[in-house]
Each structure stands twice: as structure tokens, then as C-alpha cells.
Amino acid sequence: MKCLVTGAAGFIGSHLTDLLLRDGHEVIALDDLSTGREANLAQARKNKAFYWIQADISDLSAYQKIPVVDWMFHVAGRADLVPSIEKPDEYFKVNVSGTYLALEYARRVGIKRFIYTASSTCYGIAEMVPTPENYPCVPRHPYGLTKYMGEQMVMHWAQVYKLPALSLRLFNVYGPRSRTTGAYGAVFGVFLKQKLAGKPFTVVGDGRQTRDFTYVTDIAEAFLAAAKSDISAEVLNVGSGGTYSINRLVELLGGEKVFLPKRPGEPDSTFADISKIRAALKWVPKVSFDQGVANMLSVIEDWQEAPLWDEASISEATKNWFKYLK
Ligand code: UDP
């Protein structure tokens, strides 16, 4: 198939690009390199079935540069919670307007499959774990809200225009190539740099909160399985099948801890009910948490250039979080 991957130079997009090429497809990789990195596509570039377009998905003229494709994987978007509170405009432009333009492009070319990258943050603080897809969505911050608005548009296009589309709600994705610079964000990047620097891990709360950490190659396989299926207009959770505490992560990484105040608006546990995707796509997660953490430790040098966070800089970076999400 001829595939378009938006956000292909990013963490998830680049792993998906590698998998599609391995599976024998042509990939048109689109990215504006605002947060993605060309180095993530070094392996993919060697493949004759790889094409590169540098463009911004929220710019209408970008779509004139894209040929007609069969499958579209819409992975591009603004990530991270903290900057979404500070600059909601960027998140609406890229995650909402950008998704609208992507959907209209898909409709115009008569796409065969459209797969959207949604987020488990749409659930906000779910009382029910494992959380099924029909659990009410109450996003707690602009990042979660804009990803959820994108998903609602995708479902609407599927319903009204019969766009053959699925939305995948991803739970705490981790793995090699996860972003190492910029805003204070996902716990893995923060901890790996702290380990490299011989500094203590900054554990939020008592560290007993748990996350459904899902390994990036399992995520890429879920996208491929979603494209190959003929189910449409559905939302599917993608999780690891388990949930793991921050204290367990520290144990596996090995090192000292310091404790930070618990944050408002953060769930004590995220845990996907994955019975729907198991049944619908015959997809199962393959990489265990212990294995995934070991893989991350084997590429820890990649975090050499990452910012080193400590109690003081985290407290400064999360000021607006405490101000607005309480
Ligand atoms: N976390 C932590 N120390 C940090 C950053 C995060 O203990 O320096 C915890 C955080 O409280 C949460 C978990 O790690 O329970 C995952 O955080 P992340 O920001 O990666 O994802 P999310 O909060 O969106 O699930």
C-alpha cells in the first residue's frame, strides 16, 4: 500500500514508518521537524520505498505536495501537558485544525484507511480501571482536550462521510527515540537523564501511582493491524495489558529517589481495558515492562544531551500546572 505517515520524524511516527517499510509498503513521511528529528528516519531513508515531505499539517498548502495514498496514519500533533496549559493556541492549531485538514485531504483522495492517534488522557481521572472505551471522557487539560476533539472529528467524518477510520487511544508510550529535549515531559526521559548524571530520580507523590506503560513497537503493530482491518468508526484502547508503579520503574532502573509533591489532576492509575482491540484486530502486546525498561537502558546514551531536571527546575516548570489544575 501507499502510506502517508504524518509526524513521521517523531517518536511514534518513525517506529511506524520502519514497520510499514518492513511490511513491504511505500511510505510518504511528512513532518515539519518542529519536534521530530531527521535522525529518527536514518534507517528508513535507506529504503527505496521511502519518500520525504517537509510540511506542516496545519498549513493548507502542505496538502498540495502530497500524492494520493491508500492508507493515512495521522500521528502528527503537539504533545506534552505543561506547554498546552501555557499555549493552548498552538495545540488547537495543530491538533484540532490540523486534524480537520488531514480529514478533508483523506476525504478528497478517497482514502482506504485513516488511523488517528488519540490519547488515554481523554479519560481524565478514570474511576474504573482497567478503563474500557465507553468510559466517559473528561479531559483535564488542553492537550487532552485537543486530542479528544480530533478524535471526535474523526468519528464524525466516519459517520457522515463514511471515511473508513479508526481511532487508537494510546496509553503512556515509551521506547527508544522518545524525545530528549524541550519541555518537561514523560517520566522515562526525565529518569534516564537523571540516571546518566548520577542524580536521584524525582518521584512524584509516594511513587505508588501506576501507569500503563506501552512499548512503542507494540504501538506500531497496533497501527498496522488497524490499517489491515476493515472495521470502521470505532475507538480502540492500546495498552500493555498491565500497569506499573513509578517505584517499580525506579527499582528496574536502579538509583536513589527524592520525592516531589503529588500533582493535581493526575490519575493514581492508568490501565487500559484492551479486550476490544484484542478481539477486533487480533492484536496483542508483546514487550513486557521488564524487557522494555532493559531496552531503554541499553540506549541510555541517547539521553546524554537531554535536559537534567531536579526538584527546583521541576517546581518552576510545573507552576502553571498547580495553578490551573487544582
Ligand atoms: N513522574 C514522576 N517523576 C517525574 C515525572 C513523572 O514520578 O519527574 C510520574 C508522574 O507523576 C506519573 C508518571 O510518572 O505518575 C507518568 O508521568 P508522565 O508525565 O510520563 O505521563 P502521564 O502523567 O501523562 O501519565
Contact 212, 129 (CB under 8 A): no
Rounded average pLDDT over 90-119: 98
Tens of pLDDT along 145-178?
Answer: 999 999 999 999 999 999 999 999 999 999 999 9
Measured in degrees and rounded to the nearest 5, phi and psi for residue 253 equal -80, -35
Atom of ligand 1 nearest to the CA of 209: 15
Lowest mean pLDDT among 74-88, 160-174, 213-227, 245-259: 74-88
Task: Read off the C-alpha cell for 26.
Answer: 511505500
Q: How confident is the model at residue 264 (pLDDT cuts 50, 70, 90)?
A: confident
Q: Is 6 left (phi over 0), alpha (psi -120 to 50) or beta?
A: beta
CA angle 259, 262, 265 (to 5 degrees): 155
- In angstroms, the CA 240 to CA 140 distance is 23
Q: Which of 75, 26, 16 is nearest to 50 (CA)?
A: 26
In this structure, which residue's CA is closest to atom 13 in ligand 1? 187
Atom of ligand 1 nearest to the CA of 81: 24
In this structure, which residue's CA is closest to atom 19 in ligand 1? 186
The set of catalytic residues is: 143
In this structure, which residue's CA is closest to atom 20 in ligand 1? 186
Report if pTM > 0.95.
Answer: yes
Tens of pLDDT along 34-44?
Answer: 999 999 999 99
Atom of ligand 1 nearest to the CA of 263: 11
Contact 191, 201 (CB under 8 A): yes
- In angstroms, the CA 131 to CA 168 distance is 14
What is the 155 CA–ligand 1 centroid distance (Å)? 29
- In angstroms, the CA 50 to CA 47 distance is 6
Q: Domains plus CATH for the chain?
A: 2-173+214-238 (3.40.50.720), 174-211+241-270+287-325 (3.90.25.10)
Which residues form ligand 1's pocket by a CB distance below 6 Å?
172, 186-187, 190, 202-204, 209, 211, 246, 266, 270
Angle between helices 246-253 and 289-298 (to 10 degrees): 50
Residues 6+ apart with CB under 8 A from 105: 63, 66, 72
